[in-house]
């Protein structure tokens, strides 16, 4: 479970990503250089990876400190699948 502070931080980061995505749309509409657009897309990828990493960290901490890990191999497989997708 996310703390209120973590939740607000992640929401702020997602709002920034949302603004970056709208900016990229405008750049394409305006016919900006591909290099500039690709640079902004790289920034968005980096930002989404950071949000994913923080959510994954929180999820794993909850699992390792909670009953989910005691559930056995099914939970472990779910965690491995989640990590591989992140």
Q: Quick one: pLDDT at residue 8?
A: 95
Q: Mean pLDDT for each consecutive 10-residue tract of the chain (86 residues)? A: 89 97 98 98 95 86 66 67 76
Q: Quick one: pLDDT at residue 79?
A: 76
82: tokens are 């989640």
For residue 14, CA distances in Å to 35, 54, 59, 61, 72 come to 24, 12, 18, 22, 33
Q: Quick one: pLDDT at residue 84?
A: 74
Q: Quick one: pLDDT at residue 78?
A: 77
Q: Which of 37, 16, 17, 10 is nearest to 26 (CA)?
A: 37
Q: Quick one: pLDDT at residue 85?
A: 80
Q: At which residue do the structure tokens 């709208």 appear?
A: 22
- 82 within 8 A of 34, measured Cβ to Cβ: no
- 37 within 8 A of 28, measured Cβ to Cβ: yes
- Looking at domain 4-85, its CATH architecture is Up-down Bundle (1.20)
């Amino acid at each position: 479970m996310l703390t209120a502070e973590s939740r607000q931080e992640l929401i702020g980061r997602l709002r920034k990503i949302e603004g970056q995505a709208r900016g990229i749309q405008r750049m394409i509409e305006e016919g900006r250089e591909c290099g500039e657009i690709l640079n902004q897309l790289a920034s968005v990828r980096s930002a989404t990876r950071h949000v994913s990493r923080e959510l994954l960290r929180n999820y794993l901490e909850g699992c390792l400190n909670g009953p989910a890990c005691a559930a056995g191999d099914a939970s472990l497989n779910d965690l491995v699948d989640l990590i591989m997708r992140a």
